[in-house]
Structure 1
Amino acid sequence: MAVRRVGRSHRENPRNIMRLATPVTALILQAVLGASAQTVLRSESPAAVYTAQHCRLIPGDVGWPQPQLWSQLNQTVQGRLIATVPVGSVCHDPTYDEAKCLAVTENWALPQLSVPRPAEFMVPYFLNDTCSPFTSRTTPCELGNYAAYSIEVRSIDDVRAGIRFAQKHNIRLVIHNSGHDFYGQSTGKGALSLWMHHYNETTFIRHYSSAYYTGPALRVQTGAEGGAAGAHASAEGYTVVAGACPTVKLAGGYLGGGGHSFLAGRYGFAADQVLEWELVTADGARVVATPVQRPDLYWALSGGSPGSYGVVLSATVRAFPNEVTANAAFSFGVREAGGIEPYWTAVHTFHHQLKPLLDQGIVAEYGITNETLVVTGVLAPGHTRASLQSTLQPLVAALATSTGGRLSTKSLGMRLAQGNSYHDVFAAEIAPLLAELGFPPAVAGRFVPRRLMEGDTTALDTALRAIADRGYSYSIIALNAINALRNDTAPLIAPNAVQSTFRAAYSSLMINSGEPGDRDVQRELVEEILPLYDAVAPGAGSYKNEGHWAERDVKTTFYGGMYERLDEIKKAIDPTDFFYGVTSVGFDRSEWDEKGRLCRVI
């Protein structure tokens, strides 16, 4: 077996991360967290308050752990307990630093700012502006919705210590991996966070053997980034299914939500590749789930609901031999098409010409605004540059016809690339474009059902255009995960909980807001924009990892008829709902009070 540690080295400024190296330090930092107006972090009230027994404690509550208890926890986890100091604190007095503040604002909501830090996450909405780098320098920096402390997880013992401490002292526990989280599930006011970033080994298994699969596999710990895991597998001569964004952790919420990728047309969803799961449940037990050992839990973990059943330590996934792969990237806009009407006609043509390519196992990822369509990749495993160019000729010809000859290979700026493996092409052509993409202010998601694309799409085209005309854009992955080629190449390991609407989708849309200005884009998305789409595609559903946290019908939209079975499994393995997520299974048995405490619904 080849073992590799992946991820970035941990070199953080002490202003951004404070380690509890000694009991004395713990006392000092606890004082900081409950600070007065003169310090960088402030609690909401100096007076302790009593909390209902069905609510988790937050700082300032009677019963909140005293400094010596945090110090003891720090000793238990070998000095790896980290008190949260928000990255935006360098933009506020008394720790204001102009150069560092500029660096924070320039990289705000980008992966390179949040992924290497224990309590940061990529959707600023959930910060509630309590320590925003864009508010006044004199505005106090407060923790707000940040987790209070994080354990830098290096072993199963660290996970167990965090679970025991949170349960004993009635505080919320959250699991924080990369922070690619549209729902704020990897943070929470007053929470103790299990930071999995450095629990990141990958192990290549050349001869995995079981009753349900024999062949090469890769075991990935939860903190391993998909890009790094893919690089390890490729160096061994194999390919694994991982997300398009290289900093998304493979065995985290990505697999738990199903996991789409550029390889979905060739091999299926990422959750379809899972051979076994390793996790720690709320009672501290280490559990291994496979298609034959704890099959119900295996089914639920594989696409059913991220973070609902326990703390995932690792997943073992199927690997496929490297093969030559080609990619095409191109774009067009209103100017190239000859006007706004020809542009939207070309968008319609593009979608219909894409369908036969998807049926061959090709996957396309692209973005649409009311002015441009930009294709990051039309990725084709098994194709050379020449064969992909030939395969794309009908699409290019149709675009030319729809625009009176204005769109051509030249005007599209078609760029074709080829590599000896998927990872070679991904690393050279795609990862650099996606690695630094930030999150928009508000996001929602919807599938485009394949049945809709097979008929008259006039109503769909009209709805997409109407939404774009209101300043929204789309990030789209188009795929056919049940094409005949995939069924021959990568039959399903075992049944899993990936929703049927995902398997029947032509594409998955992320609907992204622009800058909000004076608008409440969160409300607008849910109450105005999604209804425009739902009117023409009712019941389409949405990818669990790319929806809106205030989705009106979570159980139907994200789970598509599987929620009841998933909830029964949740009740059996986590009967107290210790693990919580705002859209995860069991979400409706908990709620937040007016101070941000997580409370059981009674």
Structure 2
Amino acid sequence: MHRLLTSVLVVVLAGREAAGKNFPFESVQLSQADARSFPAIHFGNRHEPPPHNSAIPRCRAWPGSNDWPSDDEWKRLNVSIDGALLRPMPAAAACYQGDLYNETTCQWLLSQSGRTHFWLDEPLTTLTQWPQGSTCTLNLNPQGTCTRGGFPEYVVNATRVKQIQAAVNFARNKNIRLVIKNTGHDFGGRSMGAGSLSIWTHNLKSFEFIPRYTVGSYSGMAVHVGAGVESWELFNHMARNNCSVVAPGGSTVGVGGGWLAVAGHGVLTSKYGLGADQALAINVVTADGKFLTVDPNNQQELWWALRGGGPSTFGVVTSVIFKAYPPITMTSVPLSFDVNRRPPSSTVPSPATSTLPGTVPPTNGLATASDTATFWRGVSLTYRYCNKVIAAGGMCYSYIYSLGNDSFSFTHSHSIPNITASAATALMKPLFTSLQEDLNIPVTLPNLTDRSASLYAGNGRRTGSANPVNTRYRSRLFPSHLWDDDTAWNATFAAIRAGVEEGGYTFHGIAYSPTEAIAGWPGADSAVNPAWRATALHGSLMDVQPEGISAAEARARDARVHAYVQRWKDLTPGAGAYMNEGDPAEIGWKWSFYGKHYARLLEIKRKWDPWAVFWAQTTVGSEAWEVVSLDDYPAGQNGRLCRPRGRRAE
């Protein structure tokens, strides 16, 4: 009898989970009574016809403007969301003379904070600084005063769905720019905006393991993850629950934020697909302030758009149910070499490589090619070989650094799931043999053992830390057909080489292939850019945007790097780019980031958000608005959000 009752209980619980049981924080929702008591947070009705253009302000409300909410209204909003409204100053204010000056704090921020979780737990900061306008830089002896620049005016520290609903309604009803920030991993400034109200989802940390979840043709393990759970936290949950989940490669990337909304790649991309392919249900607050559960059976068009259709576009995601898999072993095979090694005492002159987080080029201990031509032949050979790693469900992860004076360094690793040491050795030996014998590059194949493979979920507790930088990415998804044609590949690799050798940039390459077959159900039918399904290499040109440069200097830098990226585009017509690691000033961004899906996504956007509550640069529908920059900085967020003159309301 006890076993029978236990079995019945398991079935009942599984059925309840499959119906989309909410986390406790999602059960605290905004009521009609709440909205009646404070009309500024009343719900919207997307089915009502929008007002005539003449009745819609051209710009969002701005601090000090006549339509900016009064202090009393901000206080009432704070009361309605249980005191979750913050008005923080930038952390770097501690370095500026004034009431907030604190030399000890400033020194700690400069020297120690990047080794901690401080910047992830800071409500304003995004980890890429340049879109903010450099109005409050972290500097021991800064000049001038600290101002907000592109940082939001107010932040809602969301720990309940009710707070998110009230914030969305308040922003919509009071004509305030709204932004969404999760962990701050944002290379394009989409999580910030001057004069805005920010919804901060970082602290939505709930997690639940679901032994059996059934929806449509899927029946298996799943996990329910709060939007603010970071990758390192998810790995720890995997270890405790003896399962594996497709997760971001960066340890402090939020699982339910822009990673999911754009595509989301990781070490299992060639085995199980993209992050967006893993979703089985998504809880979201939409532009009318409603809280919905969308899945293959509910709100199908929104379900399609939320998986790959862009961040900060269709709603605020609060939690996601993802597929889970049995524990996975992962074998890593490193491979690195350089050429014309610089003396250990020398410095790396190129600003393109000097301060990239976690990507400081090695200066010794690598195998060395005999000359530059041989070095590049070895790099090309290694990238060509990645198609064999992809066929085994693996991934290649690499950087090519320009060290100046015709010196270069190449770091590369191959990650292969569920493979024995002997099989991994057999798979990788031909590459190492070719490098050694054909090119005389003295690389050494590691002595692999089955013990060297560790659970993908991890055996020990992981942690996360991060530090703000000024890295800029320019991205391209290189299609797999290039690997099958020597002429096409040689031309493509020559264009990659030129960006490093001539341009002095860092090339970051990740080889994988998230085809529709690998995506499976329901992942294969989503808004993910179709270019992903044909790709074999995600490549980025990276540099660091210097602080304090003028808008004209920034434009000149953009033009220079765009010339190299254009060579990639010319060789890959119809392909795309990864928006999360792409350029907010991407030329032809609609096709690059969304491909043929853009028109359908725009139709869904207008239906679900006729007020354009959700806006971020290069997101669907964003062309109807622009940031009127206070400093004229290209792609910056330090300015008021307005419709261009003569543009109709969207």
Match of 1:384 in 2: 420
1:566 aligns with 2:601: yes
Structure 1 unaligned spans of 5+: 6-50
- Structure 1 residue 525, shift from structure 2 partner: 5.1
User: Residue 515 and residue 254 in structure 1: after superposition, are their counterparts in 2 closer, same or farther (change >3 A)?
Assistant: closer
Quote the Cα distance in structure 2 between the aligned partners of 1:290 and 1:119: 32
Match of 1:593 among 614, 620, 628: 628
Q: Secondary structure at the match of 1:104?
A: helix
Segment of structure 1 superposing worse, 138-147 or 380-389: 380-389
Partner of 2:513: 480
Q: 2:309 maps to what in 1?
A: 304
Please give the secondary structure, in 2, of the residue aligned with 1:535.
helix
Q: CA deviation at 1:233?
A: 2.8
Higher relative contact order (CA closer than 8 Å, sequence separation 6+): 2
Aligned mates of 2:410, 2:22 — CA distance in 1: 39
**How far apart, CA to CA, are the structure 1 residues paired with 2:478 and 2:580?**
16
Is residue 260 from structure 1 mapped to residue 265 from structure 2 by the alignment? Answer: yes
Q: For 2:444 and 2:331, how far apart are their aligned partners in 1?
A: 20
Equivalences for 1:522-561 in 2 at 5 Å? 522-524=557-559, 527-561=562-596
Q: Tell me which moved more, 248-257 or 75-84.
A: 75-84
In the aligned structure 2, how far is the partner of 1:491 from the partner of 1:380? 23
Q: Secondary structure at the match of 1:579?
A: coil
Following superposition, the deviation at residue 209 of structure 1 comes to 1.9
Q: Is the 8 A contact 1:175 1:311 kept in 2?
A: yes
- Could you say which residue in structure 2 is the equivalent of 1:320? 325
What's the offset of the Cα at 1:444? 0.9
Task: Write out per-residue CA displacement over residues 553-592 of structure 1, whole angstroms, 9 at most, x where no aligned residue.
Answer: 1111001111001111111111111100101111111112
Q: Paired residue for 2:504, among 468, 471, 480?
A: 471
Deviations 1:187-235 (A, max 9, x none): 1111111111111101111111222321111111111112212321332
In 1, Cα distance between equivalents of 2:139 and 2:448 = 39
Do the aligned partners of 2:124 and 2:151 also contact (CA within 8 Å) in 1?
yes
2:209 to 192, 198, 204: 204
Q: What is the CA–CA distance in structure 1 between the aligned matches of 2:84 and 2:392, rounded to whole Å? A: 49
Q: 2:482 aligned with 1:452, yes or no?
A: yes
- Partner residue of 1:193? 198
Is the Cα–Cα contact under 8 Å of residues 235 and 458 in structure 2 kept in the other structure? no
SS in 1 for 2:580: coil
Percent identity, aligned pairs only, is 29
Contact 2:247 2:275 in 1 (8 A): yes
How many equivalent pairs are there? 547
Distance 1:405 1:532, change over 3 A: closer
AA at the equivalent of 1:455: D
Structure-2-length-normalised TM-score: 0.79
Structure 1 residues 514 and 75: alpha-carbon distance in aligned structure 2, compared to 1, 3 A threshold: closer
Q: What is the distance in 2 between the residues matched to 1:420 and 1:436?
A: 24
Residue 496 in structure 1 maps to residue 559 in structure 2: no
Is the Cα contact below 8 Å between 1:197 and 1:223 reproduced in 2? yes
Counterpart CA distance in 2 for 1:479 and 1:329 is 16
Asked if the contact 2:335–2:443 (Cα under 8 Å) also holds between the matched residues in 1, the reply is no
SS of the residue corresponding to residue 347 of structure 1 reads: helix
1:27 matched residue in structure 2: none
Q: Kindly tell me: are residues 292 and 454 of structure 1, through their superposed partners in 2, closer, same or farther at Cα, counting changes over 3 Å?
A: same
**Match of residue 394, structure 1, among 426, 430, 455:** 430
Deviation at 1:390, TM superposition (A): 2.6
SS in 2 for 1:206: strand
1:409 Cα deviation after fit: 2.8
Q: After superposition, what is the alpha-carbon deviation per residue over 1:97-152, rounded to whole angstroms, capped at 9, x for unaligned?
A: 33322332346888844211111101111121111123853411111110011111
1:343 aligns with 2:375: yes
> Are the equivalent residues in 2 in contact too, given 1:111–1:122 (CA < 8 A)?
no
Whole-Å Cα distance in 2 between the matches of residues 126 and 254 of structure 1?
Answer: 19
SS in 1 for 2:601: helix
The one-letter code of the counterpart of 1:263 is: L
Q: Secondary structure at the match of 1:392?
A: helix
Is the counterpart of residue 66 in structure 1 residue 70 in structure 2?
Answer: yes
Equivalent-residue separation in structure 2 for 1:333 and 1:435 (angstroms) = 29
Contact 1:55 1:599 in 2 (8 A): yes
| 320-329 or 522-531, larger mean C-alpha shift | 522-531
- In structure 1, the residue corresponding to 2:265 is in which secondary structure? coil
Alignment of 1:509-524 (within 5 A): 509-514=539-544, 516=546, 520=554, 522-524=557-559
| Equivalent-residue separation in structure 1 for 2:137 and 2:57 (angstroms) | 32
SS at match of 1:232: helix
Matched to 2:87, the amino acid is A
What amino acid sits opposite 1:496 in the alignment? S
TM (norm. structure 1) is 0.85
1:74 maps to a residue whose letter is: N
Equivalent position amino acid for 1:197 in 2: H
Q: Find the counterpart in structure 1 of residue 398 from structure 2.
A: 366
Contact 2:242–2:457, Cα closer than 8 Å, also in 1: no
Q: Contact 1:354–1:395 at 8 Å: present in 2 too?
A: no
How far apart in 2 are the matches of 1:222 and 1:501?
A: 26
Conserved 8 A contact 2:505-2:542: yes
Distance 1:118 1:75 in 2: 19
- Distance in 2 (CA, whole Å) between partners of 1:107 and 1:563 is 43
Cα offsets for 1:494-547 (capped at 9, x unmatched): 511111111111111121014649753652355423223223333331012111
Maintained 8 Å contact 1:479/1:505: yes
**Aligned AA (1:322):** P
Q: State the 1:93 CA deviation.
A: 0.7
Mark the CA change 1:327 to 1:492 in structure 2 (over 3 Å): closer, same or farther: farther
Give the 3 Å change call, closer, same or farther, for CA 235–584 of structure 1 in structure 2: same
Mapped contact 2:472–2:542 kept (Cα < 8 A):
yes
State the one-letter code of the partner of 1:58.
Answer: W
Give the aligned residue type for 1:554: W
The 2-side partners of 1:417 and 1:172 are apart by 53
